[in-house]
Amino acid sequence: MRTERGFTVVEVVVAMLVLIIGATALVGSSGLVSRQIGRGRAIGTATQVAVQRLEVLRRAANRRTSVGGTRCQHTDFAGGTATTQGMSESWGVGSGALRPVADTVIYARTGGTSRVILNTLIACY
């Protein structure tokens, strides 16, 4: 009876196959992770553009056209379009005492475009 210790060739081959399959899965998932990070960055930038526009509209709503004048009458508190950081942006302002405001930012992504839409209400009384 032999008392040699070690691994057989079959065990080494099986271990190598398991290692290769695991490494292949990691390489494949790293590409997916990179794409997701890029997509997250684009969505974050588009959201920031929309948030900044809503803040500009909030400030414009608080400006008064005259001393003692009413809110939400300033010409800057209106809908419009712009290109911001290479993204197409459009926004609209509704009517009423509690005005709905929506900002849509369209940004490029691999294979087309996507959009971020932010909605808020601005009090005008």
pTM of the model as a whole: 0.75
Per run of 10 residues, the mean pLDDT along the chain (length 125 residues) is 79 94 89 88 96 96 80 91 95 95 95 95 90
The strand ranges marked E within 6-124 are 80-84, 87-93, 98-109, 112-123
The per-residue pLDDT for 93 is: 96
